[in-house]
Structure 1
Amino acid sequence: MDVFWAALTGDALHMGIGALVAALSLAFLWFVVVQGIWLWCSLRRARGALKRVAAQPQPDPRPQLAQVFAGRRYIGLWREYEETLHAQRSETDIERSVQAVRATVPAESFFNGELIVDARLHTEFFKHLPGIFTGLGIIATFSGLIAGLQSFDVTAIDPEALKQSLGGLFGHVWNAFMLSAVAIALAMICTIIEKLVYASTLHQTAGIAAELDGLFKAGVGEEYLSRLVASSTEGTAQTKQLKESLVEDLKALLTNLTEQQIQATRQLSMDIGSNLESSLQEPLRKIADTVNVASRDQSESAGRMIENLMTAFMAQMRDTMGGQMGELSAMMRQSAEAVTQVEASLRTLVGDMQRASQSSSEGVQAAMAELMTSLASHERQQSEAVGNAQVQMLAQIQAATEKMAAAQESTSSRVNSAAAEASDRISAAAAEAQRASDQAAARAVQLATEMGETTLGAIGQLESGAARIADMLAALDGAAARLGQSGSSLAGVQQQAAGLVGQIRDASELLRRSSDTVAASSGSLAKASAQIELVSGSMASEADARDASLREVQAAMLRSREAAEEFKQFSGLVTDKMAEAVGTFGDRTVAVLDRNLVSFDKELTNAVDSLRQLMERLAILAADRVEA
């Protein structure tokens, strides 16, 4: 003990280390040993009390448990755990008494070492106390070594002085190791005691948690869940049954309500019908009379309007088409007369050419006969005067030749003059025919245009008249529908008129083609005149040229005559077609309007009759109800 005291008081550092070790040891004794033993005893008594409560089973042990934990430091843990307990109450008892108390969480969640032992014993601090003691012992060891080395005299030579120095060095080392040994011993002792106390208190705490878990049965959540599933299944079945019963009840209820509603509606309709019958009988009779008078007047006025409109339209169409076609026929007659004049001129030319050829042939034949006679007479008189005969013969031949030349010249001049005159007449006739053809084509085009405009104007007037009729009779739906159908029919007639305009345009195109044919004929006549002039210039092939010219002139005349006949037939056909189309247009328009007006009258008559019958029935019903 003296050695330990001497080591402890050897220097100031050792004294401080010793004081610190002593203070920590006292704190360990109070906070760990004393408090741990007291806590262990308290936990042991509480565990014993829990065992006694568990030995006496009862539905609700919470009051006894509150008394067990009353006055203890961990009473707060019990209150928190008590809030997690679930009391099961009786479903059949009126007072709903508690049948059992169920645990929802383990008791270890509240009664464990961290909440009860660690906080009370300051375990987080004192579990490091052995390390602190060991560190202090190491510090004391090194401080003693340093102090011994400081007191050692390295310059001492004398053995006694050296012995004293070594003695002081070993003394400091001993003191240092002594303090270190004490500190390490205290560290081991504190470790053992702290672990024993901590383990014993943890054991008691775990025992308390186990006792509490034994008092309260867990699994209330699963039980409630199973009961909830069972109740849901039962509720579904009951809901289905309730639905079926409600459907049946509602069906019967709605059936009764529907029957009552039908009866009430029927009675209401009868009352309303009787009231309407009594209040509308006289106004409806007046309306029927007014409608009859108005429909009769409107039908007559509409018929007169349509008749006047169609009469004016047909008169205008006849005037227009008659005048135009008369002018066209006059032009065609002028063209035919011009072609006839050309034919007469050509015939005169041919006659003149034939007479000239005949006179020329007769002159030549007379000269040849006279020559042959002279030769015969000269042969008989050869013996008389050969020289005179030859002279006379030559003179006669010369005279005959001169006569032939004169006859040929006269014939040529007559042919030239006749050819020139024929050429002029042919050119004039061709120009006249070309002009007449152009005028006819222009008039035909103008006629087609005016015809289309007149037709469209008439159709527009008919449409405006139909619109006026539709406006006048707009109050009656059936008549309006019929007039709409008549408008569609008029549109079809308008399309036919448009087709007629197209036919007239085709006719104008054919007239142009006919004018081209006449122009070709005039060209052929011009060629014939040119060939006649060539004939007059070449008398060597006179007969062949005359025949060819005559054939070409005849062919040209034939083509001109055929073209004139074709043009005449076509103009007649156009006139007939246009007259037929105009007549068809007027007839169809009148038929459509008559049919629609008749339908309108029928519909209006049927409506008036139906209204009259309805009023008569209402009057009969009213009379029956009055008599009843």
Structure 2
Amino acid sequence: MDVFWAALTGDALHMGIGALVAALSLAFLWFVVVQGIWLWCSLRRARGALKRVAAQPQPDPRPQLAQVFAGRRYIGLWREYEETLHAQRSETDIERSVQAVRATVPAESFFNGELIVDARLHTEFFKHLPGIFTGLGIIATFSGLIAGLQSFDVTAIDPEALKQSLGGLFGHVWNAFMLSAVAIALAMICTIIEKLVYASTLHQTAGIAAELDGLFKAGVGEEYLSRLVASSTEGTAQTKQLKESLVEDLKALLTNLTEQQIQATRQLSMDIGSNLESSLQEPLRKIADTVNVASRDQSESAGRMIENLMTAFMAQMRDTMGGQMGELSAMMRQSAEAVTQVEASLRTLVGDMQRASQSSSEGVQAAMAELMTSLASHERQQSEAVGNAQVQMLAQIQAATDKMAAAQESTSSRVNSAAAEASDRISAAAAEAQRASDQAAARAVQLATEMGETTLGAIGQLESGAARIADMLAALDGAAARLGQSGSSLAGVQQQAAGLVGQIRDASELLRRSSDTVAASSGSLAKASAQIELVSGSMASEADARDASLREVQAAMLRSREAAEEFKQFSGLVTDKMAEAVGTFGDRTVAVLDRNLVSFDKELTNAVDSLRQLMERLAILAADRVEA
């Protein structure tokens, strides 16, 4: 002990570490050992009380359990668990006494180590206390080593001084190891005690939860569910039986009631019919005669009015459409004449093109024939006079070339004049067709406007006639209303209003006949409208024909334009071919002349050489003869 005290008080750091270890040890003794033992005893007593309550079975042990947990720190857990208990009461008893108490959740959900033991013993802190002790022991060990090394004199040579230095070093090391050993021993002791206390308290807590689960049976939800299924099945069967019995009873009841109502209604109808037939026959006959006379007069007046209206409308349409259709026909004839002129112009253009092409080909053929003739004569005259032949050949080639150029120029001028004339004629025809088309379009617009105004006027007259007919129908409706009022008054007098329906149906039949007459008049009006639609259709067909004529004129102009383009392309092609032919002919002619001139030069050279040799020989012979 003296050695430990000396090691503890030998250094300020060691004293601090010792004080910290002592404080933590005291806290462990109070919070873990003392509180754990007290908690273990409390849990043990509560568990014993629960066993005594379980030994005395009773329907509702909750009051006894409340006394067991009263005054304890975990009384709140019991109250929360008590709220989850379900009391089953008697269905036959008037007071509905409690038969049993059932558990809906396990008791372990409330009585467990996390809620009872951990919070009371501060387990989250003290389970790390052994590690803290071990760390303090390690710090004490290294601090003692460092202090001993600092006090060691490395320069000491004297054995006594060296011994004293080593003694101080070993003393510091010994003190450090003593503190470390004490800290490690405390760590092991704390670990053993903490685990023992914690395990014992958890055991008692689990025992309390098991005792509570033994007091209250679980599975109340499944039991209630099975009861609900059984009651639902039984209710379905009873409902089905009740429905069948109600259907049979209601069927018999409604059958009897319907038969009685049919008999009563039949008798009432017979009585009402006989009474009304005797009382209303004469007044209704007079009313029917009056309605027939009024309907006949109104139908005749409506027919005359509609006839006059349609006569005036047709006369106006005839006056309007006659002149306009004549003008439209004249415009269409002008369009046809313009198209004819375009066609004639195209035919003239094609003829001019054919003649120009024919004259061009004839000129080329004549020039080629003349050229070939000149070449043949040149070949015949070549052997006679080379110099004259060459001059004549060049002259003939020049003449042929001039003729071909003249022919080509005349052909080009004729083709250009024909194309210009055709273009002028096509332009004139197109302008004429455009003017005719514009006039026809303007006239068609004017005609459509006048037709619309005339149609609107006729429609207005028809609307006025329809308004008059509507007034007549309104008058008939008023008469029918007055007839209904007179019938209602008669029915009120007789107090049998239901029987008036049959006689009023006859009056409605008479009114329906009048309406049929008016409908016939409306049919006549519909026929007139149909005639108007036919006239409009014919005008539309005329407009379509005019559009078709305009499209044909446009197509003819398009074809003439395409023909002009084709003629232009053909003229260019002919010109290119002629230029190519003339160039080829000139090249070949030059090549032939070159070959002939070369051969002529060779022969002339040979002849001159032969003549010179001959003259030399003659000179030699003459000299020989002179010498001889």
TM-score (norm 2): 0.48
* 1:546/1:119 CA distance change after superposition, 3 Å: closer
The Cα shift of 1:245 comes to 2.1
Q: Give, in angstroms, the shift of residue 87 of structure 1.
A: 0.9
Equivalent pair of 1:452/1:501 in contact (CA under 8 Å): no
Identify which range, 39-48 or 305-314, moves more after superposition: 305-314
User: Residue 156 of structure 1 aligns to a residue in which SS?
Assistant: coil
- Where does the alignment leave 5 or more consecutive residues of structure 1 unmatched? none
Question: 1:462 offset after TM fit, Å?
Answer: 19
Distance 1:493 1:610 in 2: 167
Cα deviations across residues 270-294 of structure 1 (Å, max 9, x unaligned)?
5654664465333212135446777
Structure 1 window deviating more from structure 2 (339-348 vs 164-173): it is 339-348
- 1:241: Cα distance to partner? 1.2
Distance 1:220 1:62, change over 3 A: same
- Structure 1 partner of 2:67: 67
Shift in Å, 1:446 = 29
The residue matched to 1:538 in structure 2 has which SS? helix
Q: For structure 1, which segment, 553-562 or 577-586, has the greater mean C-alpha deviation from structure 2 after superposition?
A: 577-586
Checking the alignment, whether the CA contact within 8 Å between 1:479 and 1:600 is kept in structure 2 is no
RMSD: 45.3
Name the CA shift for 1:261/1:550 in 2 (closer, same or farther; >3 Å): closer
Higher alpha-carbon deviation: 612-621 or 66-75: 612-621
Q: Is the 8 A contact 1:8 1:15 kept in 2?
A: yes
Residue deviations 1:371-394 (CA, integer Å, cap 9, x gap): 999999999999999999999999
- Map Cα deviations across residues 241-279 of structure 1 (whole Å, 9 max, x no partner): 121122223323433443454455446545654664465
Do residues 369 (structure 1) and 369 (structure 2) align? Answer: yes
Deviates more, 1:466-475 or 1:154-163: 466-475
User: 1:378·1:389 contact (CA, 8 Å) conserved in 2?
Assistant: yes
**Mapped partners of 1:247, 1:115: distance in 2:** 64
Aligned sequence identity (%): 100
Larger displacement relative to structure 2 (253-262 or 473-482) = 473-482
Separation in structure 2 between the aligned mates of residue 564 and residue 375 of structure 1, nearest angstrom: 40
Within 5 Å, which residues of 2 pair with 1:518-557? none
CA–CA distance in 2 between the matches of 1:597 and 1:396? 17
Equivalent residues of 2:32, 2:197 under 8 A apart: yes
**Shift of residue 223 of structure 1?**
1.1
Distance 1:374 1:315, change over 3 A: same
Cα distance change on mapping 1:84 and 1:558 into 2, 3 Å: closer
Three-state SS of the structure 2 residue aligned to 1:99 is strand
The range that moved more, 282-291 or 546-555, is 546-555
- Choose 24-33 or 488-497, whichever is displaced more: 488-497
Looking at structure 2, the residues matched to 210 and 285 of structure 1 have their Cα atoms a distance apart, in angstroms, of 105
Alpha-carbon deviation of 1:150? 1.1
Cα gap change, 1:434 to 1:261, in 2 (>3 Å): closer
Residues 520/534 of structure 1: CA separation in 2 closer, same or farther (3 Å cut): same
Q: 1:573 to 1:227 in 2, by over 3 A?
A: same
Deviation at 1:107, TM superposition (A): 0.7
Name the residue aligned to 2:298: 298
Please identify, of 415-424 and 207-216, the stretch whose mean Cα deviation from structure 2 is larger: 415-424
- Secondary structure of 2:99 counterpart: strand
For the 8 Å contact 2:103–2:220, the answer to whether it is kept is: yes
**CA distance in 2: counterparts of 1:142 and 1:305, whole angstroms:** 135
Structure 1 CA distance for aligned equivalents of residues 571 and 33 of structure 2 = 150
Shift of the alpha carbon at 1:222?
Answer: 1.1
Q: CA deviation at 1:157?
A: 1.5
- Seen in structure 2, the aligned counterparts of structure 1 residues 159 and 258 have a Cα distance that, compared at 3 Å, is same
Deviation at 1:238, TM superposition (A): 1.0
* Worse-superposed segment, 301-310 or 484-493: 484-493
Q: In the TM superposition, what is the alpha-carbon distance from 1:161 to its structure 2 partner?
A: 1.1
Q: 1:208 to 1:390 in 2, by over 3 A?
A: closer
- Residue pair 1:535, 1:541 contacting (<8 A) in 2 also: no
2:184 and 2:137 map into 1 onto residues whose CA distance is: 7
Which segments of 5 or more consecutive residues in structure 2 lack a partner in the other structure?
none
Deviation string, structure 1 residues 166-215 (Cα, Å, up to 9, x no partner) = 11111010000000000000000000000000000000111111111111
- Looking at structure 1, the residues matched to 163 and 229 of structure 2 have their Cα atoms a distance apart, in angstroms, of 97
Q: Deviations over 1:426-451 (max 9, x none)?
A: 99999999999999999999999999
1:310-363 per-residue CA deviation (whole Å, 9 max, x = no partner) reads 999999999999999999999999999999999999999999999999999999
Equivalent residues, number: 628
C-alpha distance in 1, partners of 2:617/2:308?
A: 43
8 Å CA contact retained: 1:145, 1:172: yes
Change in 2 beyond 3 A, CA 1:164/1:240? same
How much has 1:226 moved relative to structure 2? 1.0
Q: Residue 228 of structure 1: CA displacement?
A: 1.0
Deviating more after overlay: 381-390 vs 218-227: 381-390
Q: Which moved more, 1:9-18 or 1:368-377?
A: 368-377
- Residues 310, 586 of structure 1: 8 Å contact kept: no
The alpha-carbon deviation at position 91 of structure 1 amounts to 1.4
**DSSP 3-state at the match of 2:496:** helix
Contact in 2 for aligned 1:87/1:99 (Cα 8 Å): yes
Residues 477 and 388 from structure 1, CA distance in 2 versus in 1: closer, same or farther, beyond 3 angstroms?
same
Q: 1:394 to 1:601 in 2, by over 3 A?
A: closer
- Are residues 170 and 254 of structure 1, via their aligned partners in 2, closer, same or farther at CA, if it must alter by over 3 Å? same
Report how far residue 18 of structure 1 moved.
0.4
- Asked if the contact 1:46–1:69 (Cα under 8 Å) also holds between the matched residues in 2, the reply is yes
* Cα gap change, 1:614 to 1:193, in 2 (>3 Å): farther
Residues 613 and 137 of structure 1: CA distance in aligned 2, closer, same or farther (over 3 Å): farther
Partner of 1:388: 388
> Contact 1:310–1:590 at 8 Å: present in 2 too?
no
- CA deviation after TM superposition for structure 1 residue 618, in Å: 174
Matched with 2:35 is 35
CA distance in 2, matches of 1:70, 1:446: 113
State which drifts further: 585-594 or 471-480: 585-594
Secondary structure class of the residue paired with 1:479: helix
| Alignment pair present for 1:491 and 2:496 | no
Distance 1:334 1:537, change over 3 A: closer
Q: Is the 8 A contact 2:272 2:496 kept in 1?
A: no
Q: Secondary structure at the match of 2:88?
A: strand
Q: Secondary structure at the match of 1:237?
A: helix
Shift of 1:74: 0.7
Given that 2:363 and 2:404 are in contact with CA atoms closer than 8 Å, whether structure 1 keeps it comes out as yes
SS at match of 1:317: helix
Shift of 1:554: 53
Cα distance, 1:483–1:319 mapped onto 2, change above 3 Å: farther
> Aligned partners of 1:88, 1:620: CA distance in 2, in Å?
176
CA deviation profile, 1:47-97 (whole Å, cap 9, x unmatched): 111111111111111111111111111111111111111111111111111
